[in-house]
A and B are shown apart, each in its own frame.
Chain A
Amino acid sequence: MRQVSQQVLLLCYGNPGRLDDGLGAAFAEALEGSALPGVTVEADYQLTVEDATSIAEHPVVIFVDAAVRGSEPFFCRSVEPKPTISFSSHSVEPENLLALAQKMFGAQSQAYALGIRGYQFDDFGESLSPKAQENLAAAIQFLVPVLRRSNAIEITAALDALNVQGDDNGV
């Protein structure tokens, strides 16, 4: 039997204790049961620098997070490496992480950001708003068939096709 290599890394992040900020974690939870071959699903509160090592091990990386603005129900855009400066150590942007992975670990990954539109962030709570739940379902419905495609080229082609449809106001 042919061993399926790990093609895609899904880095899902956000705080499930802050209402719609939990969209990334909810996405990871939904996909963990899908048993998608060649897909690694990681969930964390935030992106962190050591994610650069995992990025370098996958030809395709998708950052999945809640989006505070931008297209509904979700957007998908390509991520280009870019060094950024941060006020604190508490967050790393996808662009920064990709640049780090390239610089430090020779990553050649194609990266995308899947931003699922959320609406409620300003309180503590462990549930998603009804509209965010709808958006989550739409994002899953879109991405799962894409991830079932046989190789990285087909997967990136599908993601690139959607890339032009969404924006997140330049973030």
Chain B
Amino acid sequence: MSDKPETRRIVIEPVTRVEGHGKVTILLDDEAKVKQARLHIVEFRGFERFIQGRPFWELPVLVQRLCGICPVSHHLAAAKAVDGIVGVDTLTPTALKMRLLMHHGQFLQSHALHFFHLSSPDLLFGFDADVSERNVIGVAAKYPELARQGILLRKYGQEIIKATAGKKIHGTGAIPGGVNKNLSLEERDQLLSEIDQIMEWARGAVALAKGYTLEHLDDLSGFGSFDSNHLSIVRSDGAYDIYDGGLRARDAEGNIIFDHVENEKYDEYLAEEVRSWTYMKFPFIKEIGPEAGWYRVGPLARVNNCDFFDTPEAEKERKEFKSLTDDKPNNITMAYHWTRMIELLHSVEKIQELLNDSDLQGEDLVVTGKRRDEAVGIIEAPRGTLFHHYRVNEDDQVTMANLIVSTTSNNEPMNRAVQKVAEDYLSGVPEITEGLLNRVEVAIRAYDPCLSCATHAMGQMPLIVELMDQQGRIVDRKIKG
């Protein structure tokens, strides 16, 4: 028998029959100390190739096939890029506000789903609670009003998307240079009739996330946390903006790395590193380099990055959030939840503002411009900054597409979160319990990663946990769910 320490590998893998899933491998040595922890997100590759040769005007509809959970984000990012191709830099007020309404509807439904139905079981019952209770049905049983609010908040967001984008599949609201419909008075009145209730629930959601974070601050401060840079777009005056603005990056202390970078110049400031063990790339800030230039995106980065919200309630909440760190960036991974709910509140405020704006009933929907061959569209998707970059030929066919999705930007932060949690909780323990494994998932879930899971045919398998020895032999196997 060899004297060399034996290495064991734990694999947490939701097995799906298509590419596009997450897997965590934790390598333990013979003393059960964590040697290495990695998150592998297997991207479904080939989409950029799929759209090459297609007419550029199809892009806003075509790209929705990328992700079944956030088609609106891809729809809008592609539409912004296609606006550039048709030479349009400024939309009509009606077109811009219809897109904004759609975008905030998407934020509302996405954030509500994540917080109420994915994360709340962990927060309400605790990371170690029995899995039979720690799920959305458990929340529905013990906190029925909360579960109901989550569903109805999300439903309201979906109604906004339907009113602005059309159908759930193949939504067509945004077209090159504008939109294809305005908001009818009937649609507006229907949505306005519910807004006061929605606002009340949004306030409650912020209070819940804030209260949880503050109550558990000692535990959460170190949980999967680390200093990082933060990246997002901001409006020209520094305001929080999810649809339009220049790129801003701050370091962990809050110093500006770059600011108001034009969308078209993103690749002068950002690059992507390839690592041998995963297909997913690791974006970084060129000026700093791959070792220290990686960054976070998403709610935490956006709230850390912006100078202010242009709505009163979200701004009040932002100030309270930033006061916790003396106005410096907050680097607590679990603070994603709090910032996500501040964003949800802001979206409801913006929805109310937009619904009361008569521009939404305007008839001037599309503008035209002088055709270009290349354009970049950058927006903030619920999970973070989303880049769409296209080149087209004289026959209007797409010849190049480069997409950087938010989960790719958060690749390094999620890996760091997994490593930190594994080291803190899994090292030296005699048995890897469900609660311990769940801590790894909790850290990943805080980022709300998109696992390219647009396919969900029946036959999908549950989460599988495998314990392997150094030779790759499975010595233990658990099926979750």
| Interface set of A (CB-CB < 8 Å, partner B) | 13-18, 20-21, 23, 25, 43-50, 52-53, 65-70, 83-91, 96, 99-100, 103-104, 113, 115, 118, 121-126, 168-169, 171
Do B14 and A18 have beta carbons less than 8 Å apart? no
Stretch in B150-158, B206-214, B422-430 with 4+ CB within 8 Å of A: B150-158
A65 touches B458 (CB 8 A): yes
The residue that A124 contacts in the complex, of B65, B169, B449, with Cβ under 8 A, is B65
B1 CB–A CB distance under 8 Å: no
**Smallest CB separation, B452 vs chain A (Å):** 9
Judge whether B459 and A49 touch: CB under 8 Å: no
Q: Given A16-B65, A100-B136, A103-B141, verify A45-B458 contact (CB < 8 Å).
A: no
- Once the chains bind, are A43 and B151 in contact (CB under 8 Å)? no
Q: Bound state CA distance, A21 and B459, in angstroms?
A: 12
A49 B150 Cβ-Cβ under 8 A:
yes
Q: Contacts of A47 on B, CB cut-off 8 Å?
A: 456
Task: Pick the interface stretch among B127-135, B322-330, B369-377.
Answer: B127-135
* Chain B, range 452-467, C-beta contacts under 8 Å to A: 453-463
Chain B hits for A25, CB < 8 A: 169
Question: Could you tell me the distance between the alpha carbons of A86 and B62 in the complex, rounded to whole angstroms?
Answer: 28
**When chains A and B are docked, how far (Å) is the Cα of A113 from the Cα of B458?**
9
Give the complex CA separation of A25 and B457 in angstroms. 12
Asked whether B316 is an interface residue with its Cβ less than 8 Å from the other chain, the reply is no
A118 to B449, CA, bound (A): 27
| Interface contact A84-B481, CB-CB below 8 Å | yes
Find the residue from A13, A15, A90, A123 having the highest chain B CB count within 10 A: A90
Q: Is the CB of B168 within 8 A of A44?
A: yes
B470 → chain A closest CB, angstroms: 27
Please measure, in the bound complex, the distance between the C-alpha atom of A156 and the C-alpha atom of B139, giving whole angstroms.
Answer: 31
Residues of B contacting A67 in the complex (Cβ-Cβ under 8 angstroms)? 457-459
CB–CB A70/B448 < 8 A: no
Once the chains bind, are A70 and B459 in contact (CB under 8 Å)? yes
Q: How far is the CA of A96 from the CA of B151 in the complex (A)?
A: 14
Q: In the complex, what's the smallest C-beta–C-beta distance from A34 to chain B, in angstroms?
A: 18
Q: Are B449 and A88 in contact (CB under 8 A)?
A: yes
Chain A residues with CB below 8 A from B64, complex form? 17
The answer to whether A46 and B458 touch across the interface, beta carbons within 8 angstroms, is no
Other-chain contact of B454, A17, A68, A88, A125 (Cβ < 8 Å) = A17
B446 vs chain A, min Cβ distance (A)? 12
Please determine whether A100 and B140 come into contact, CB atoms closer than 8 angstroms: yes
